[in-house]
Amino acid sequence: MVVKGLTEPSSRLALRLAWGFDLSGEGDELQVGGSVRLGSWDDPQRTHVLATVDARYRAYFGSEELKTFVEIGLWASVKSLAALGGLGGVGLAYDPSRAWGIYLSAQFNGGFGEARITGVSISPGLQLRW
């Protein structure tokens, strides 16, 4: 991350919650969500991403149970530093039933605003459907 011309490396453990829905009836999803940093929110120098919102489209490829996915979207940092940018990622999902599934994804994001932010993330996840 670059803030006021200075590079500030940072890492965070975060929790992301999202709501997704199938736009086409084919299983691909539009997701709208947000994440919050877990742990301390103390950031007097304003050099950490504390909370984000995002919207992404996730396209699945494979069988009903085991599939890969590609996602693209927009994200914004909304707490501590304001920035807006794009994101992209790939992942693997396993759905043992129609009610739930698990996934692992890798994502890259970048944004501009009060800071130039680039990030890489590895995310395990759980999806619940009803």
Q: Which residue has the tokens 């007097």?
A: 44
Per-residue pLDDT tens for 38-94? 877 676 665 667 788 999 999 999 998 999 999 999 999 887 788 999 999 999 999
C-alpha distance from residue 3 to each of 16, 57, 111, 115 (Å): 24, 29, 12, 5
Is the distance from CB of 111 to CB of 76 less than 8 angstroms?
yes
- Which tokens hold the place of 40? 């301390």
Is the distance from CB of 63 to CB of 96 less than 8 angstroms?
no
So what's the pLDDT on residue 20? Answer: 92
DSSP lists the bridge partners of residue 26 as none
So what's the pLDDT on residue 45? Answer: 65
Sorted by where each begins, the domain ranges of the chain are 20-35+49-128
DSSP secondary structure string for all residues of 29-88: EEEEEEEEESS----TT--S--EEEEEEEEEEEE-SSEEEEEEEEEEEEEESS-EEEEEE
Taking the C-alpha atoms of residue 45 and residue 115, their distance in angstroms, rounded to an integer, is: 12
Nearest by Cα to 81 from 111, 30, 34, 47: 47
So what's the pLDDT on residue 93? Answer: 97
The yes-or-no verdict on residue 1 having pLDDT over 60 is no
